[in-house]
Chains A and B, each alone.
Chain A
Amino acid sequence: MRQALEEMRALYERNQADVSEAKSGRTDLIFLIRFRHCCLLRNQRCLLAYLYDRLLRIRALRWEYGSVLPNTIQFHMSAEEVEWFNRYKKSLATYMRSVGGEEGLDLTQDIKPPKSLYIEVRCLKDHGEFEIDDGTTILLKKNSQHFLPRWKCEQLIRQGVLEHVLS
């Protein structure tokens, strides 16, 4: 990003210099100025596309990881992006609350239609203790298998800690 911005600034300054020169008589510089202007516009478009793509990915992260992002990912986001993420979270939460009656509907669950209430999952790495809604904890050790309600495992499946076992 920074390199692109540097390049743009350099081009802009040279353009500025040339515009003032052109104003004072040298008309053959106009093409050069136009060319540089087009470069500037293109760079701007590329930068904007890049930033927009990042925003789309951050939005997808909310659906994948839930409302709290892991530290490794937050490290790579700029402050403005974090703020954007928080605002997106808020507006998604407001929307979810407004849909589906009193309690709201958690749209981030069950993205694919579920086949059964309970699924069998296998733990791929040592994840330590995992607390579920009714307060009980499950110890997730590598290669242990568990038979749990679907909604409790979805998050962990997406994160890659658990693996859905089909038999």
Chain B
Amino acid sequence: MYSMYQHTLLGAYINAIILLFLQRVLLLVASDVDALCACKILQALFQCDHVQYTLVPVAGWQELETAFLEHKDQFKYFVLINCGANVDLLEILQPEEDTFFFVCDSHRPINVVNVYNDTQIKLLVKQDDDLDVPAYDDIFREEEDEEEDSEDEGDGSEPSEKRRRFEEEVIERTMNRRQRREWEARRREILFDYEQYEYHGTSSAMVMFDLAWIMSKDLNDMLWWAIVGLTDQWVQDKITQMKYVTDIGILQRHVSRHNHRNEDEENSLSIDCMRIAFEYDLRLALYQHWSLYESLCNTSYTSASLKLWSVQGQKRLQEFLADMGLPLKQVKQKFNSMDVSLKENLREMIEESANKFGMKDLRVQTFSIHFGFKNKFSASDIVYATTSLMENIEKEGHETTNFIKALDSLSRGNLDKLHQGLDLAKKQLRAIQQTVASCICTNLVISQGPFLYCSLMEGTPDVKLFSKPVSLCLLSKYLLKSFVCSTKNKRCKLLPLVMAAPMDVEQGTVIMVGIPPETESSDKKNFFGRAFEKAAESTNSRTLHNHFELSIIELKTEDRSKFLDALISLLS
């Protein structure tokens, strides 16, 4: 019986690493940028210590199970990155007694079985990550035998005494059963509250970097990957603003530790060395690799605030540019070719004007990387590029080929892949903005009562792009932001959004995501995971809950309407 749950401290994990020297490890990595970054850091650590490993990308629960079944005879140690924390792993995978799982996952809430099992499952979490796990006694209970032990006792006892004892026992047993039922009801309630909302904890890449730091094996490269992992969480709106700022502060300390030589003019490093710098940069997507105008049009924050889908919005954009004194011709050409005099105080100028137009958060704390004379990238650039590479629909290869390409692009030697990713990202952002504009102008976002709903039709341009989960999530978030700015209905502004897009025309499936409402102080907690599960159960819809994010599902097109009806009644 435990009074407090135990989870593996990062220090204790080091002992496990020593065990791993003689063993081979299987890495199962989910398909998101944070996982890719964590994977890169872990690979570097393993290579440093000559730990033999095999890396298998997994896109969902089915792939995870398949990979596990294929490899379980050959490996005893499994490392799961950004997958596996939020379900009962032992039940799903049914591993042998001597198999160990190390889970580094930012998905919360962590399944209670995973938390309290300290033999086979080791969770990598940061010490100050608040898990809020219910107490052990509230959810687990040893079976107490209800013995009927007074049958043959006391031959010499009198019948009346026996009857009294019998009555007492019946009363006791009824009391026990009632206690049991109460306990179980309370347990269901506790578990329901605990598992109701999905959210995200610290980025896995940051946890891995912390591990590297504790082992004194951290490098500037690994720090950059940790930064990209955190920025991915911010771009995809998975963490709160406060958490982001706190984590940036943590990383800032590491950045100054690794990169302080750049400030010293005399002893500074050669220009070819990689350096990371803290920036209070503009929140415009890819603006240094695009033109300022394009970036302003295709970033959700500016596009939503200026309402660029309408004619007045376009006029406001022109006013905004005029207010800053930036000629249109300059602004429309490639950023690198803009006049140096204009670029000098660009950030402060834009911030000042943005404040006048109601955009108070146009600047954000982030980091950028330099190596060589030409190569300067901001963390969010890398996130967009890698995401587009991973969800690239242009080449129909093996599913894992895109994963491998995206993984490669994170290494500095593969600049060509990174540039390809940047081009794809530009296309993706443009497609998102155009789709958002058309949805708003044609009033495709309708209120269903407890939530807003938008469905993309079959023939919409670029709809194939949105058959991928991360792209669809990005689209949904941008759409919700823009919708909130465009609607006058106060109630609608606080509603969450459910978005559907055609996934596979031949098989007749639709991909559906649910995102939490867009408010200033949102805690980013998403209840759609459980809601989707319940709605699917109650209508017997043919759904596939394959993604590690439970709020993304696939379902058959025919079942869509009854599923939605069930969802509406469930949430009303």
Contact with B along A83-117 (1 / 0, CB 8 A): 00000000000000000000000000000000001
Evaluate whether A144 and B398 lie within 8 angstroms (CB atoms) in the complex, with A120-B47, A139-B74 already known.
no
Is residue B70 within 8 Å, beta carbon to beta carbon, of the partner chain? yes
Select A167's contact among B57, B404, B413, beta carbons within 8 Å: B413
Select A120's contact among B43, B57, B70, B400, beta carbons within 8 Å: B43
Q: Is the CB of B52 within 8 A of A147?
A: yes
| B:403-430 near A, CB below 8 Å | 403-404, 408, 411, 413
Q: Is the CB of B47 within 8 A of A138?
A: no
When distances are taken between beta carbons in the complex, the residues of chain A under 8 Å from B408 are 165
Q: Which of A117, A143, A165 has the most CB of B within 10 A?
A: A143
Q: Is the CB of B74 within 8 A of A144?
A: no
Is residue B330 within 8 Å, beta carbon to beta carbon, of the partner chain? no
How far apart are the CA atoms of A130 and B46 in the complex, in Å?
22
CB distance from A23 to the nearest CB of B (A): 74
How far apart are the CA atoms of A144 and B73 in the complex, in Å?
17
Q: Can you spell out 15 A-B residue pairs with CB atoms less than 8 angstroms apart?
A: A117-B50, A118-B50, A118-B52, A137-B74, A138-B54, A139-B54, A142-B400, A143-B403, A143-B404, A144-B400, A146-B52, A147-B47, A147-B53, A165-B408, A167-B413
Contact with B along A140-151 (1 / 0, CB 8 A): 011111111100
- Give B residues with C-beta under 8 Å from A: 24, 43, 46-47, 50-57, 70-71, 73-74, 398, 400-401, 403-404, 408, 411, 413
When distances are taken between beta carbons in the complex, the residues of chain A under 8 Å from B413 are 166-167
Q: Which of A138, A146, A147, A165 has the most CB of B within 10 A?
A: A147
CB distance from B181 to the nearest CB of A (A): 49
How far apart are the CA atoms of A147 and B56 in the complex, in Å?
12
Evaluate whether A142 and B398 lie within 8 angstroms (CB atoms) in the complex, with A118-B52, A122-B404, A147-B53 already known.
yes
Across the A-B interface, give the 6 residue pairs with the lowest CB-CB distance, nearest first: A143-B400, A145-B55, A167-B411, A146-B54, A147-B53, A144-B56
How far apart are the CA atoms of A165 and B40 in the complex, in Å?
13
CB distance from B412 to the nearest CB of A (A): 9
Is residue A3 within 8 Å, beta carbon to beta carbon, of the partner chain? no
When distances are taken between beta carbons in the complex, the residues of chain B under 8 Å from A142 are 398, 400
Contact with B along A120-158 (1 / 0, CB 8 A): 101000000000000011110111111111000000000
Evaluate whether A139 and B43 lie within 8 angstroms (CB atoms) in the complex, with A118-B52, A144-B54, A145-B54 already known.
no
CB distance from B535 to the nearest CB of A (A): 35
How far apart are the CA atoms of A147 and B413 in the complex, in Å?
19
Q: Number of A interface residues, CB 8 Å?
A: 20
Q: Is the CB of A147 within 8 A of B43?
A: yes
When distances are taken between beta carbons in the complex, the residues of chain B under 8 Å from A120 are 43, 47
Q: Which of B54, B74, B403, B411 has the most CB of A within 10 A?
A: B54
When distances are taken between beta carbons in the complex, the residues of chain B under 8 Å from A143 are 57, 398, 400-401, 403-404
When distances are taken between beta carbons in the complex, the residues of chain B under 8 Å from A139 are 54, 70-71, 74
Q: Which residue of B lies closest to A117 (CB)?
A: B50
Q: Is the CB of A147 within 8 A of B74?
A: no
How far apart are the CA atoms of A117 and B48 in the complex, in Å?
11
How far apart are the CA atoms of A167 and B56 in the complex, in Å?
18
Q: Is the CB of A149 within 8 A of B52?
A: yes
Select A136's contact among B24, B55, B403, B404, beta carbons within 8 Å: B24
Q: Which of A138, A141, A145, A166 has the most CB of B within 10 A?
A: A145
CB distance from B77 to the nearest CB of A (A): 13
CB distance from B17 to the nearest CB of A (A): 15
Q: Is the CB of A147 within 8 A of B400?
A: no
How far apart are the CA atoms of A96 and B400 in the complex, in Å?
42
Q: Which residue of B lies closest to A149 (CB)?
A: B52
CB distance from B491 to the nearest CB of A (A): 48
When distances are taken between beta carbons in the complex, the residues of chain B under 8 Å from A136 are 24, 74
Q: Which residue of A lies closest to B44 (CB)?
A: A167
CB distance from A79 to the nearest CB of B (A): 41
When distances are taken between beta carbons in the complex, the residues of chain B under 8 Å from A117 are 50
When distances are taken between beta carbons in the complex, the residues of chain A under 8 Å from B51 are 147
Q: Is the CB of A148 within 8 A of B52?
A: yes
When distances are taken between beta carbons in the complex, the residues of chain B under 8 Å from A118 are 47, 50, 52
Q: Which residue of B lies closest to A120 (CB)?
A: B47
When distances are taken between beta carbons in the complex, the residues of chain B under 8 Å from A147 are 43, 46-47, 51-55
Q: Which residue of B lies closest to A146 (CB)?
A: B54
Q: Is the CB of B55 within 8 A of A144?
A: yes
CB distance from B458 to the nearest CB of A (A): 31
Q: Which residue of B lies closest to A165 (CB)?
A: B408
Q: Which residue of B lies closest to A137 (CB)?
A: B74
When distances are taken between beta carbons in the complex, the residues of chain B under 8 Å from A145 are 54-55, 404
When distances are taken between beta carbons in the complex, the residues of chain B under 8 Å from A141 are 56, 70
How far apart are the CA atoms of A157 and B429 in the complex, in Å?
39
6 extra A-B contacts, CB within 8 A, seeds A142-B398, A143-B404: A118-B52, A120-B47, A122-B404, A139-B71, A143-B401, A147-B47
CB distance from A135 to the nearest CB of B (A): 11
When distances are taken between beta carbons in the complex, the residues of chain A under 8 Å from B73 are 137
CB distance from B322 to the nearest CB of A (A): 48
Q: Is the CB of A146 within 8 A of B53?
A: yes
Q: Which residue of A lies closest to B404 (CB)?
A: A143
CB distance from B351 to the nearest CB of A (A): 38
When distances are taken between beta carbons in the complex, the residues of chain A under 8 Å from B71 are 139
How far apart are the CA atoms of A127 and B168 in the complex, in Å?
71
How far apart are the CA atoms of A167 and B412 in the complex, in Å?
8
How far apart are the CA atoms of A117 and B52 in the complex, in Å?
11
How far apart are the CA atoms of A117 and B49 in the complex, in Å?
11
CB distance from B220 to the nearest CB of A (A): 15
Q: Is the CB of A138 within 8 A of B398?
A: no
| A:48-67 near B, CB below 8 Å | none
CB distance from B449 to the nearest CB of A (A): 45
